[in-house]
Structure 1
Amino acid sequence: MRRRRVICAVPDPHVERWLLVDSAAFKAVLGRGCAAPDQKCERARYKRLLIEAIRQAGITPNLGGIEFAADIVAAMDLGQASRLDPSLQRFLDEMNGVFREWRS
């Protein structure tokens, strides 16, 4: 019987940072790029930065910006984004490990 693995995607410090690290993906979805934020864990900071970046693109985020997450992720260069965020890199490394298991 094949062993099943569980992978946890744990953004450190917050998932909104992952949505801001690839300015080109952000621009592809929202029409304007954004600055990749530094790595500081301050309550609600990344949520605020995501909302501000979306508003600067001329869009009102109805759900705090998370409504654009799937489109931003689909447009991301995951290799580049993971070089900018260690927690994203850890998640992708785990996913690649599962994919290698599936191939073997």
Structure 2
Amino acid sequence: MTANTTLRIVPGTRIDDIHADYLRCRAQLTDALSALDAAFDRCRSVTDRQHDRPVAPALVTINEAATYLGVARRTVDRLIASGALPVVRVLTAPRIRLADLDAMIREQ
């Protein structure tokens, strides 16, 4: 039976024939749903594996920047005050781009 097939009850059709058609349709639907479930599970497992990968943050706090550079927080504060290290504000919280820290390391 295809997706466009309908079950037509013709006058004079035996109930056993109708029941057999019903069972055939039900089996096909069960098979289709099983295939759909299997496809969904495959997609979900791929998606889960993608989400399991750790993602490095693009922005870090001033303390995290100091740890990343291996210096004291005061040193990072001075770099920010001198304009050598740009700051991004997330709402009011100061954050530093890891790309800026990496650039600073490369320049040294």
TM-score (norm 2): 0.24
- The structure showing larger relative contact order (alpha-carbon pairs under 8 Å, at least 6 residues apart) is 1
Q: Which structure carries more strand by proportion?
A: 2
Report the TM-score when normalising by structure 1.
0.24
